[in-house]
Amino acid sequence: IPAAWQRPYLNIFKHFRVEEWKHSAREGDVAALTDKRLKGTIYRIRGSNPTSSYLQLPRTGTQSLGLAGRYLYLLFRPLPHKHFVIHLDVTTEEQQVVRISFSTLFKEFKSTATWLQFPFVCGAAGSVNDHTARTSRQDLVGAAPADVRWTCLVLDLRSILSLYLNRRYSHLKSVKLCANLLVKNLCTSDLVFNPGVTFSEARQADLACRGIAPMPREMAFPIPKGGKWHDLYDYIRFPPEGSKLLHDSIQKSCSGPVAVSKDPVHQPPQSVMLTKAVRDRLSLVHQITSPKAVSALWKR
């Protein structure tokens, strides 16, 4: 359970004063910009390849953020026609460091005892149902489209470690945001913040008892008068809410988050379920402790 200073949520950029660059590191083309549409400061990370530019928290690998919130919120927008990579180092209760990476460069899901790699599928503006009907999932893997939107990505770190590696989550150790991205904020919390619900709706539906809350102001994207959040931005929760299935990519599901629904469990789209071959490999990885054996497994 997070310490009191981390509840109900922790604004990572604000708490660690990213703009001062004392507790964070930057390499390459990393700049703080004022975004008029989002009405605040954003960070642009760009480079000829994703490893050439990055923003890293904390400053060195020997330090740890020590953030125990179950959910990591990333408010970001991939740069159009570019690839990006993000690395999260998390620590298990057994003090094992596991790297969780996701990128538009990854073509397929890969797993070892200490590293999970997920392809990230950027959605284009418009209906996900229409888009997936026109193109296969394989066609969607790749650089961000021209009309890629600002996204609220919610990563359930506890579930990711439990589902994929049968490990128990302790805390977030470090974050490395590599080119090419625009980033508004990073936050951790034990609550599920839903951007499409108001404070009054949350009270009426008594969502607090389910651990669901409206999006705090400093984590929110602006909505013009009369506009709807989900018409302007993307919301991705990974793994999908209520899912006990393994998925081989991070992408927007056909059904957005539903906070006021009586049945909060959604079935994820069939296209992102793991193939039997990948499930078999994961099963073997869970049974093997030798890093050499795991490496040999993936070279088959």
Q: Is residue 214 part of a domain?
A: no
List residues bridging with 8 in a β-sheet.
none
- The tally of domains found in the chain comes to 1
pLDDT in tens, 233-274: 999 999 998 777 899 999 987 444 543 333 333 333 333 344
Q: Is residue 203 part of a domain?
A: no
Give the domain extent around 108: 4-126+141-193+232-243
Q: Is residue 200 part of a domain?
A: no
Looking up tokens 């497994």, which residue turns up? 297
Q: Is residue 153 part of a domain?
A: yes
Q: Which of 64-73, 133-142, 211-220, 241-250 has the lowest mean pLDDT?
A: 133-142
Instruction: Report the pLDDT averaged over residues 263-286.
Output: 41
Q: Is residue 209 part of a domain?
A: no
**What is the rounded CA–CA span in Å between residue 93 and residue 157?**
13
pLDDT in tens, 130-174: 444 344 444 557 899 999 999 999 999 999 999 999 999 999 999
Residues 6+ apart with CB under 8 A from 200: none
**What is the rounded CA–CA span in Å between residue 120 and residue 122?**
6
DSSP 243: -
Q: What does the pLDDT read at residue 259?
A: 39
Q: Which of 49-53, 123-127, 152-156, 180-184 has the lowest mean pLDDT?
A: 123-127
C-alpha distances out from residue 282 to 31, 133, 269, 286, Å: 39, 29, 20, 6
Q: Is residue 239 part of a domain?
A: yes
Residue 298 above 50 pLDDT? no
SS3 state at 13? helix
C-alpha distances out from residue 146 to 77, 78, 122, 124, Å: 11, 10, 10, 8
C-alpha distances out from residue 185 to 32, 44, 123, 210, 226, Å: 12, 12, 20, 25, 25
**Could you tell me what percent of the chain has a pLDDT over 70?**
78
Domain CATH number, residue 110: 2.60.120
Instruction: Report the pLDDT averaged over residues 102-117.
Output: 97
Residue 79 above 70 pLDDT? yes
Residue 285 above 90 pLDDT? no
Average pLDDT for the chain:
82
Two tokens at 73?
Answer: 């919120």
